[in-house]
Amino acid sequence: MIDVKQAAESASVFFYDLYRDKGASGVRLEEVELVEDDKFWLITLSFLLPQAIGMIPLKPSREYKTFKVDAQTGQVISMKIRELEYGIS
């Protein structure tokens, strides 16, 4: 079984392969979780993407993706948009 560092590395490599030409920066590891009877790691990464309206650059927005990584092989199984939940207590 791979450890959390290897799972995070697999997710990062997968992310960079997909977003290499999109101008992503400021990548951060946000969450890790071992799920489904230790079969998968869920790895959440956040990153900044450049934003613009026409020719006017705007402040980059932070986006989040969760990667499902096979805990035996390290293969990324899926990538999903991670919606943040804001609760008011």
Domains of the chain: 4-81 (3.10.450)
Q: Average per-residue pLDDT in the chain?
A: 91
Is 76 in contact with 8 (CB distance < 8 Å)?
Answer: no
- Residue 20 has a pLDDT of 87
Q: What pLDDT does residue 53 have?
A: 67
Average of per-residue pLDDT across 46-59: 79
Residue whose pair of structure tokens reads 């989040």 in the numeric block: 64
pLDDT at 86: 66
What is the C-alpha end-to-end distance of the chain, expressed in Å?
39
Residue predicted with more confidence, 21 or 72: 72
Q: What does the pLDDT read at residue 46?
A: 96
Residue 16 pLDDT grade (very low, low, confident, very high; cuts 50, 70, 90): very high
Q: Using one digit for the tens of pLDDT, what is the confidence trace for 19-50?
A: 989 889 999 999 999 998 999 999 999 999 88
